[in-house]
Amino acid sequence: MKLLKILPALLFLCVLQPAFSQDKVLDSLFNKLKAEKNDSTRVRLINLIASEYTGSDPAKVIEYGNKGLALAQKYKLQQHEADAWFNVGNGNILLSKYADAIKCFSNSQGIYENLFKTDKRQVITDGLARAYGSIGVVCNEQNNYPKALEYFFKALKLYRDSKQEDIAARIYSGIGVVYESEEDYDKALFYYNKSLALKQNTDDEVFPATYSNLGNVYLALNKDDKALSAYKSAEKILSAQPNARVLGELYNNYGNYYRKKGDLKKSADYYKKALEIFTSTGYLFGASATQEYLGRIAEKENRYAEAINYYNKSSENATLVGANGQVKDSEKALSDLYEKQGRYKEAYEHYKKYSVANDSVIGSDNIKALVREEMNFEFERKDEQRKLEIEKKQALYNEKVKRHRLQTIFGGVIVMLALGFIFLVYNRRQIKKTLTLQRDLAEYEQKALHLQMNPHFVFNCLGAISGFIVQNGTDSALKYLAKFSKLMRLTLEYSKESLIPIDKEIESLKNYLELEQLRFNHIFDFTITKDSSIEDDVALPPLLIQPFVENAIIHGIVPKLDKGAIGINFTIEGNTLVCTITDDGIGLEKSRSLKENSVTVHKSMALEITRKRLEVIEAYTAKKTNVNIEDVENESGKCIGTKITLYLPVQYLSGT
**Whole-model pTM?**
0.54
CA dist 504 and 302 (Å) reads: 52
Which pLDDT tens digit goes with each residue over 369-402? 555 555 555 555 555 665 566 566 566 667 776 7
pLDDT for residue 20 = 44
Residue 216 has what pLDDT?
A: 93
Helices (H) and strands (E) in the chain, counts: 22, 8
Relative to beta strand 564-573, strand 538-540 is unpaired
Q: CATH number of the domain at 440-652, please?
A: 3.30.565.10
Contact 490, 511 (CB under 8 A): yes
Percentage of the chain surpassing pLDDT 70? 81
Looking at 258-272, 294-308, 504-518, which range is the least confident one? 504-518
C-alpha 350/C-alpha 308 separation (Å) is 11
597-624: average pLDDT: 69
**Residue-by-residue DSSP string for 33-94:** HHH---HHHHHHHHHHHHHHTTTT-HHHHHHHHHHHHHHHHHTT-HHHHHHHHHHHHHHHHH
Question: Cα 327 from chain centroid?
Answer: 32
- Reported as a pLDDT band with limits 50, 70 and 90, residue 364 is low
- Cβ-contact 566, 557 below 8 angstroms: yes
Cα–Cα nearest to 175, from 592, 641, 536 = 536
Structural Rg of the chain based on CA atoms: 31
Q: How far apart are CA 389 and CA 391, in angstroms?
A: 5
Task: Give me the pLDDT at residue 116, please.
Answer: 92
Summarize the confidence of residues 41-57 as an average pLDDT.
88
What is the average per-residue pLDDT within 496-514? 86
User: With bands split at pLDDT 50, 70 and 90, how would you rate the model's confidence at 598?
Assistant: low
How many CB atoms lie under 10 A from the CB of residue 21?
11
Buried b (16+ CB within 10 A) or exposed e, 184-195: ebebbbbbbebb
Question: How far from 580 is each of 27, 235, 528, 647, CA to CA, in Å?
Answer: 65, 44, 10, 9
Averaged pLDDT for residues 443-465: 58
pLDDT averaged over the chain?
82
What pLDDT, on a 0 to 100 scale, did the predictor assign at position 582? 96
Give residue limits of the domains in the chain: 440-652
DSSP state letter for 557: I
The answer to whether residue 251 scores a pLDDT higher than 70 is yes
